[in-house]
Amino acid sequence: MELNERKKRILYAVVANHIQTAEPVGSRTVARAYRIGLSSATIRNEMADLEEMGYLEQPHTSAGRIPSQKGYRYYVDNLMGDGQLTEEEELSISRSLGLEKMREIEQIIANAVKVLSSVTNQTSLIMGPQFQKSTFQQMRILPLDDRRGLVVLITDSGFIKNKVIELDQSLSPAELHQVVTYLNQKLYGLTIDQVTTSLINELKRDLFRRLEILEQAFILLEESLREERQARVFLGGTTHILTQPEFKSVQKVHQMLSLFEQEALLFEILEQDLAKDDIVVRIGTENKYEDIQECTLITAAYKIDRRILGSVGVIGPTRMDYQWVIAVLRRLVDQLNQTLSSNR
Amino acid sequence: MELNERKKRILYAVVANHIQTAEPVGSRTVARAYRIGLSSATIRNEMADLEEMGYLEQPHTSAGRIPSQKGYRYYVDNLMGDGQLTEEEELSISRSLGLEKMREIEQIIANAVKVLSSVTNQTSLIMGPQFQKSTFQQMRILPLDDRRGLVVLITDSGFIKNKVIELDQSLSPAELHQVVTYLNQKLYGLTIDQVTTSLINELKRDLFRRLEILEQAFILLEESLREERQARVFLGGTTHILTQPEFKSVQKVHQMLSLFEQEALLFEILEQDLAKDDIVVRIGTENKYEDIQECTLITAAYKIDRRILGSVGVIGPTRMDYQWVIAVLRRLVDQLNQTLSSNR
DNA sequence: AATTAGCACTCGATGTCTTGGAGTGCTAAG
DNA sequence: CTTAGCACTCCAAGACATCGAGTGCTAATT
């Protein structure tokens, strides 16, 4: 499986050139442009070898070679170096993310995806922080008028959920306050996931004994928790994918865009590598979902104080400037982590 | 400008047929399919007249005719009847909108656009209620801990905005309460638009005399008001437009989708006919924005207790089943109005 | 033994030509 | 005024020729 130095250089040349031009790369091109010091004939032989070994493929007999999925994988793992951003790119990332102050977390996230897509010129996606994984901090009920109240629920990672509810008429303010205090006490520090229906029922029974009126208060709690089992996914630069030559058929575009409309699917896609603590590159069929098996997905997790909150990524054709996109993503995540953490 | 009966029937036939088939319509087709009782030759003559009058046009000499923009306009204004929905369609609208209970207004809106696009198979858009136009009801500040507080601002049409702020350390709870009470008193019943910076400054001066510490409290108020000058626009079924034969070139698709990514533009587009109290049909160049001058936009305003909140619409190629889409839209808006009003 | 020049061959892309058919406009007859 | 008939137009689709980039193989060279 190991390639000798010469094969490596040739493979590198083919991949690099193909990434740039989107065209099959011929032996002449490699010979001339990458000063390997060999004639095209020799390179032709090597390329034939590389094809046999599965790193390259030929669209048709008399065309040049293009990298296979395995070829890209080898390139990503062994050949490419670390990408370097231009000063301009650096700036546009830090400027647009660094200056955010005290904004809602969702806004920061939504902005991040815009920055990412506009810098990379690729479609980007980001998974919002998972409500379920954040921990309960406190809950309040604000009486609005005599019939209705506003429930406010706050979690540690900056989520604020609110919901207007009908208040049980027979519940006195003092009693209401008592219920709320009780709940805060019991729930503090639990993750939302841990606030299961059975826990709620238990609390309900417990309270019932002391206070006999609070159906509504519990319904609200359950409701606001049940909602959003799944985090939001933000998309940016959806149309960038249309500028790629590999998406010049309307049919493919359609397939791709339909996928983008299915938030639940995007969520699953982003969620799978959430635990990994580095950049994850999924090339072609390394993706589980058929619809993106002609694409590459590059993702990274973002964190707040070392705790992983969600995942952000770029999706595009397998022919992608891996080196550079990875550098951008890395930079963006750093900045994002910093911004989020300093906001607490 | 008036057309005789025969011309009307022929124009109707051409439009109706073209809407169905997306192909140019020939004289033979009209003669056979629409039992006008005339030969194709006669119809040919009439069609030539209609073309000269500007209602029809010919893609090229030896092709059939297609309706011109003027032709569609005449069809919409004078020829088509009221569309009828199937029971199934009726049901799917009322089922998916009717059952909503006590949900946030934004959720109802976001759902409505999904329903509309999936029933019509067209791209749909809906403008969320304008925060600016709703009236201030009350504002509260919930202390979270000793440094921070949660500001909650509630308006009549169901908006609830919240924001975490740093509290001025030197502000005692009693004083804070006093400020909030004062503000509520002064601002109640004003639309958000009316809460201008100058008004805030005035209040600030007024309060300053009595209470000398509240910079922060005002900053928050201004900030939460300054945000969202513009309502959100929700989109649904973006990809439906790709199934239309008039969008078979990737370039057009790209242009269209790029437009969809610009929320501010969509907002302007939807806002322009907001005051009109009926369905508005804008065909081709009747749209101000160049990018959609090959499209038709059909919009309608939705209301809560007679007050117009926002606007919902469908966008597609000028060749659109006007009659039916209008019927669907009408039905949906009725249902939406009802749902929204009953939620108060 | 490795490299390279040389050459025949392959195959898609591009351009030209032909053919067929749908539809028109005009004319002359009903 | 209507219609049958016919010549004419023009696009779409297929057939065919041409071109050139690139290959694989062979034989000569280092």
pLDDT per residue as tens digits for the range B269-287:
999 999 898 999 999 999 9
pLDDT at B330 over 60: yes
CATH dotted code for A137-226: 3.30.390
Which pLDDT score, from 0 to 100, does residue A67 have? 98
**Residue B53 and residue B67: Cα distance in Å, rounded?**
12
Protein residue closest via CA to C1' of D10: B62
Predicted confidence band at A220 (pLDDT cuts at 50, 70, 90)? low
Q: What percent of chain A lies above the pLDDT cut of 70?
A: 90
Is the distance from CB of B65 to CB of B303 less than 8 angstroms?
no
**Whether CATH 1.10.260.40 fits A5-79:** no
Residue A165 has what pLDDT? 72
Helices vs strands, H then E, count in chain A: 12, 10
Task: Give the lowest-confidence range in A79-88, A123-132, A166-175.
Answer: A166-175
What is the arrangement of strands in the sheet containing A233-236, beginning at the earlier edge strand?
A233-236, A123-127, A307-317, A295-304, A280-283
pLDDT digits (tens, 9 = 90+) for A314-335: 999 999 999 999 999 999 999 9
Give the CA-to-C1' distance from A9 to C1 in angstroms: 22
Residue A204: per-residue pLDDT: 73
Q: CA of A314, closest CA in chain B: separation in Å?
A: 17
Cβ contacts of residue B182 below 8 Å, gap of 6+?
B203, B207
Distance from C-alpha of A12 to C-alpha of B275, rounded to nearest angstrom: 62
Q: What is the mean pLDDT of residues A259-268?
A: 93
Contact A329, A122 (CB under 8 A): no
Question: Is B227 an interface residue toward A (CB < 8 Å)?
Answer: no
Q: Higher pLDDT residue, A174 or B57?
A: B57
- Closest of A131, A130, A165 to residue A147, by C-alpha: A165
Q: Report the distance separating Cα A272 and Cα A265, nearest Å.
A: 11
Mean pLDDT of chain B: 87
Q: How far apart are the first and last CA of chain A?
A: 49
Top-ranked range on mean pLDDT: pick from A252-256, A306-310, B320-324: B320-324
Window 52-111 of chain B: CB closer than 7 A to strand C:
58, 61-65
Place of tokens 């939705």: B302
CB B40 within 8 A of CB B28: yes
Interchain CB contact of B110 with A (< 8 Å): no
CATH class of the domain at B87-130+231-343: alpha beta
Fold for domain B132-226? Answer: Enolase-like; domain 1 (3.30.390)
Q: What is the pLDDT of residue B99?
A: 64
Determine the average pLDDT of the residues in A269-278: 92
Q: How many CB atoms lie within 10 A of CB B239?
A: 19
Residue numbers in B near A158 (CB within 8 A): 164
| Beta carbons of A250 and B250 less than 8 Å apart | yes
| B262 neighbors B238 (Cβ within 8 angstroms) | no
- Spatial distance between the Cα atoms of B71 and B294, rounded to a whole number of angstroms: 14
Contact B162 A162 (CB under 8 A): yes
Query: pLDDT grade, residue B139 (50/70/90)?
Result: confident
Residue B187, both tokens: 């601002």
Query: Is there a contact between B241 and B247 (Cβ–Cβ < 8 Å)?
Result: yes
Tell me, what's the pLDDT at B192? 79
Mean pLDDT, chain A, whole residue set: 87
pLDDT, tens digit, 9 for 90 and up, residues B62-86: 999 999 999 999 999 999 999 999 9
CA triplet A269, A271, A273: central angle to 5 degrees?
A: 95
CA of A20 to C1' of C4 (A): 29
Higher pLDDT, B107 or A288: A288
CATH architecture assigned to A87-130+232-343:
2-Layer Sandwich (3.30)
* Cα(A87)–Cα(A252) distance, integer angstroms: 35
Percent of chain A residues topping a pLDDT of 90: 55
Minimal Cβ distance to A160: which of B104, B162, B243:
B162
The Cα–Cα gap between A12 and A323 comes to 12
List the single range of A317-326, B93-102, B202-211 with lowest mean pLDDT.
B202-211
Burial of A228 (0-12, 13-18, 19+ CB in 10 A): middle
- Tokens for B189, please give them: 């019943």
pLDDT at B214 over 70: no
Torsion sign across C-alpha atoms A163, A164, A170, A171: positive
| Band of residue B223 on the pLDDT scale cut at 50, 70, 90 | low
Q: Does B264 touch chain A (CB under 8 A)?
A: no
Nearest chain B CA: its distance from A178 CA (Å): 17
**From A164, A242, A249, residue closest to B254, measured CB to CB:** A242
Cβ distance of A253 and B250 shorter than 8 Å: yes
- Provide the residue ranges of all domains of chain A, joining segments of one domain with +: 5-79, 87-130+232-343, 137-226
| d(CA A244, nearest CA chain B) in Å | 11
Question: What tens digit of pLDDT does each residue of A22-75 get?
Answer: 999 999 999 988 777 899 999 999 999 999 999 999 999 999 999 999 999 999
Whether nucleic acid strand C comes within 7 Å of the CB of B284, the answer is no
Burial readout B21-59 (b: 16 or more C-beta within 10 A, e: otherwise)? eeebbbbebbbeebebebeeeebbebbeebeebebbeee
Chain A residues with CB under 8 Å of B248 CB are 250
State the DSSP string of B124-146. EEEEPPPGGGSBEEEEEEEE-SS
Q: What is the pLDDT of residue A217?
A: 60
* Residue bearing the bigger pLDDT, A306 or B88: B88
B257/A239 Cβ within 8 A: yes
- Amino acid of residue A26: G
Q: Look at B343 and A331; give whichever has higher pLDDT.
A: A331
Higher pLDDT, A268 or B1: A268
Is residue A224 pLDDT above 70, yes or no?
no
pLDDT for the residue numbered A170: 66
Q: Judge whether A298 and A313 are in contact, CB under 8 Å.
A: yes
Please report the pLDDT score of residue A114 as a whole number. Answer: 94
Q: Which of A75-79, A97-101, A203-207, B323-327 has the lowest mean pLDDT?
A: A97-101
Measure, in angstroms, how far nucleotide C1 C1' is from residue A42 CA: 14
